Amino acid sequence: MLLGAPAASQAADPAPAAVAKSGITRIDPTFWWVGMKNPEVQLLVYGPGIGSGTAAIDGSYPGVTLTSQEKLENPNYLLVNLRIEPTAKPGKLPLTFTGGAKKQKFQYELRARTTPGDKSKVQGINTADFIYLLMPDRFANGNPKNDIVKGMRAPGIARDSMFSRHGGDLKGIEDHFGYLKELGVTAIWPTPIVENDEPKASYHGYAATDWYRVDPRYGTNDDYVRFVQNAHKQGLKVVHDVVLNHMGTSGYLVKDAPSKDWFHQWPAFTRSNFRDAAFNDPYVSAADRKQFGEGWFDKHMADLNQSNPQVSRYLIQNFLWWVEYTGLDGYRVDTYTYSDRKFLMDWGKAILDEYPNLGMFAETWVQGTGQQAYFARNIFPEVQGFKSNMPGVLDFQLQYAINEGLTRDAGWTEGINKLYYTMQTDWMYEDPQRNVVFLDNHDVSRFFSVVGEDFQKYKMGIAWLLTTRGTPQLYYGTEVLMKNYSNPDGKVREDFPGGWAGDKNNAFTKAGRNEQQNAAFEYVSRLANYRRTHPVLHTGKYMHFIPDNGVYTYFRYNEQGETVMVVMNASKEAKTVETARFAERMQGYKSAQEVITGTSLDNLASLKVPAYTAWVLELKK
């Protein structure tokens, strides 16, 4: 029994359904490929007593060698190490196992790779993208037949409970690809789609119980492969949300762990202190650092011991597997700061060595730009044995700044000036353009509520999101003014209106939205589609000017002569902006067109900007 897990929960759960009286229950990875850059693969073989015997290739398989095998503390496991030479061909690798009740044979599949040379796969995520974050369970129910899956621990669906399953699935997302394209979205980020077979509150996806299986309430593995393929055909990329730090306690790897040191152990349940500063604090106590990195995220989330090389390899292989299997385009890495330092570097290197085009960004819900930059590729030397190779991060610092900028009066460093000072710290990153910028997500209060349901401030936030540096991410429903706060009832994760048959309103259609919702949708759509067709907002340089009198002005420009000027008046009154101080960016331009309204401005010497308004101006010569 894992010492960190609550005893009552373990006693109540039945034995893993996968455990049979005899025979091999499963092998992870479930299959592999010939022609991978790294020729080594480690099979985790699971079955009653399988570790008491040995494994062998039955006969011969040209180009494949069983190099070694390792017994684990739990006799129900055996590690088998294979080397697959570049000359090996796809086929069924015949394996024989002598452990367990009897001699067993297994045909392990080696597949031909599909990602090399196929430009529709592993396209990556970049600044030209507009990412749409959604929760599959809460977006749309496309297949009611998978709402209830026999044998799973969470009973049915209950849409009147924010912590129960609601029935959304992959088919529901796919049914609304057209809606997303109309909005201007180019990439879809669902919260984790792998199996979360926990008794309750597992709808979010962050407590995996099977790393190699799509949650059957979302669809099948084949459904997910088709989902990615169909998204690509529609010009949409797919970001796969991954969790490296922990997994659900109902998973077979927890309930019948390969060894005690696969998970961090405590005499009694111990939760992380969630203090990321302990990761690199030069004065930190060993106790605080241990609790941060080895404490459990929650009672049903077992903390993985990634310093164990077997655990590290298992995780690395799994996330290589998902890319090759589906051709997905990017990884968003959950709870990145909590993982073992060496593992993070090994994981990132292994993934990017195999898939250099893969987009990757990490959750860094931390305080301070220095701390955030520490977890991205940065200009710092190695600190305490860690040098991040994560290309980009979710830019929480800018999220804090834009929220303050629109809810607090300007001061020397407060209000809109907070945005300026946060942008100024971009010097710490190797490339700040790789960061993902956002207004809200599934863990924080919705942006429309944060700005007091003030539509003018809302539009300012959207204008900033789609014109600032980096890759923008929108949380589902923000475009139709979904609201609410993160505490105490979780209503920031409400169902998208219209995603279920019989919903009173269908916000996927113009007729199903009210006047203000349509105005919000049109604002987002018009600016997102403008951004999509104007590379200056993807790759253009960024220059800003110190805010003056509550007004923040910045420019996106390139060598092709394109310039977009953004003027943000975060004040309660209209402000007249004299543009002479911006001469180094405006020289040679005689007029402008406001992107959203289409209004032409022929006098650029002086701009009178209404209260709480952002103008996005395309400058013209």
Measured in residues, the chain has a length of 621
- Could you read off the pLDDT of 217-266 as tens digits, one per residue? 999 999 999 999 999 999 999 999 999 999 999 999 999 999 999 999 99
What are the tokens at 23?
A: 């025979």
Beta-bridged to residue 608, according to DSSP, are 576
Residue 9's pLDDT band, with cuts at 50, 70 and 90, is very low
Residue 5's pLDDT band, with cuts at 50, 70 and 90, is very low
- Could you read off the pLDDT of 533-572 as tens digits, one per residue? 999 999 999 999 999 999 999 999 999 999 999 999 999 9
- Could you read off the pLDDT of 422-476 as tens digits, one per residue? 999 999 999 999 999 999 999 999 999 999 999 999 999 999 999 999 999 999 9
The amino acid at 257: A
Instruction: Count the Cβ atoms, other than its own, within 10 Å of residue 454.
Output: 15
Q: Are 563 and 557 in contact (CB under 8 A)?
A: yes
Q: Are 140 and 60 in contact (CB under 8 A)?
A: no
Residue 15's pLDDT band, with cuts at 50, 70 and 90, is very low
Dihedral of CA atoms 309, 275, 473, 438 in degrees, nearest 10, equals: -160
In three-state secondary structure terms, 602 is coil
Dihedral of CA atoms 203, 209, 213, 219 in degrees, nearest 10, equals: -20
Q: Which CATH code for domain 7-112?
A: 2.60.40.10
> Cα angle vertex 475, ends 398, 609, to 5°?
55
Beta pairing, strands 32-34 & 55-57:
unpaired
Mean pLDDT for the chain overall: 95
Between CA 327 and CA 346 the distance in angstroms is 22
334 assigned to active site: yes
- Could you read off the pLDDT of 312-352 as tens digits, one per residue? 999 999 999 999 999 999 999 999 999 999 999 999 999 99
Residue 513's pLDDT band, with cuts at 50, 70 and 90, is very high
Between CA 46 and CA 25 the distance in angstroms is 6
What are the tokens at 21?
A: 């009286």
Residue 270 has pLDDT above 50, yes or no: yes
Identified catalytic residue from 241, 276, 363, 495: 363
Identical topology for domains 131-533 and 541-620: no
* Domain spans of the chain, in order of start: 7-112, 131-533, 541-620
- Could you read off the pLDDT of 346-373 as tens digits, one per residue? 999 999 999 999 999 999 999 999 999 9
Identified catalytic residue from 137, 174, 334, 479: 334
Q: Which CATH code for domain 541-620?
A: 2.60.40.1180
Q: Are 375 and 344 in contact (CB under 8 A)?
A: no
Count CA atoms closer than 13 A to 502's CA, side-chain side. Answer: 3
Beta-bridged to residue 194, according to DSSP, are 214
pLDDT of residue 235: 98
What lies within 8 Å, CB to CB, of 28 at 6+ separation is 43, 44, 46, 211, 212, 314, 317, 318
What are the tokens at 122?
A: 């592993």
Residue 155 has pLDDT above 90, yes or no: no
- Could you read off the pLDDT of 64-107 as tens digits, one per residue? 999 999 999 999 999 999 999 999 999 999 999 998 778 899 99
pLDDT of residue 99: 84
Residue 10's pLDDT band, with cuts at 50, 70 and 90, is very low
The CATH H-level (homologous superfamily) assignment of domain 131-533 is Glycosidases (3.20.20.80)
